[in-house]
Amino acid sequence: MVRLDEEIFSQDRYYYLRPRAGEKVPIQILNFRRVFAAWSPKLKNTLYFEKAPEEPEEEGLKRVREIVLLQVYDWLAGREGLVELTEPEFEQFMGIYEAFLRQSGEIRYSRKKKGRKNENLFELQESPYIIREVRKGPFSDKL
């Protein structure tokens, strides 16, 4: 199990975002962390570890890999979810996230089929609203 900010992720509580082909889901980034993931055939589930398992074959784990676990809020579903990112996907995400922090807007998440695997994609959509600067002064002057 993974521990993020004193909270334990359970497989039952969170769901994995899986947008359909061509669908772009607006998300809010809550947290991200580097962890180790391994497939457990016995549990038929992916398990997350803060440290790499010592002997994964003896514990019955397969495909041990280092990933970035992204905790997001899915605006369409109205709940929190998880996204597993590889290193190249995380670099693409960080470029979008830094642009989001500079100019605001909306981050959209989608998946694209590439061979046998799905690739996670992020894009920044600019906000249609103009952000104005708030000036200090008496409200009666504006009336």
> Which pLDDT band, with edges at 50, 70 and 90, does 13 fall under?
low
Q: Are 89 and 123 in contact (CB under 8 A)?
A: no
> Which pLDDT band, with edges at 50, 70 and 90, does 129 fall under?
low
Cβ-in-10-Å burial (0-12, 13-18, 19+) of 83 comes to: buried
pLDDT tens digits for range 74-87: 888 888 888 999 99
Q: What is the pLDDT of residue 142?
A: 62
Q: Are 124 and 100 in contact (CB under 8 A)?
A: yes
- Domain residue limits, the chain: 23-128
The more confidently predicted of residues 7 and 66 is: 66
User: Helix H segments across the chain?
Assistant: 87-103, 139-142
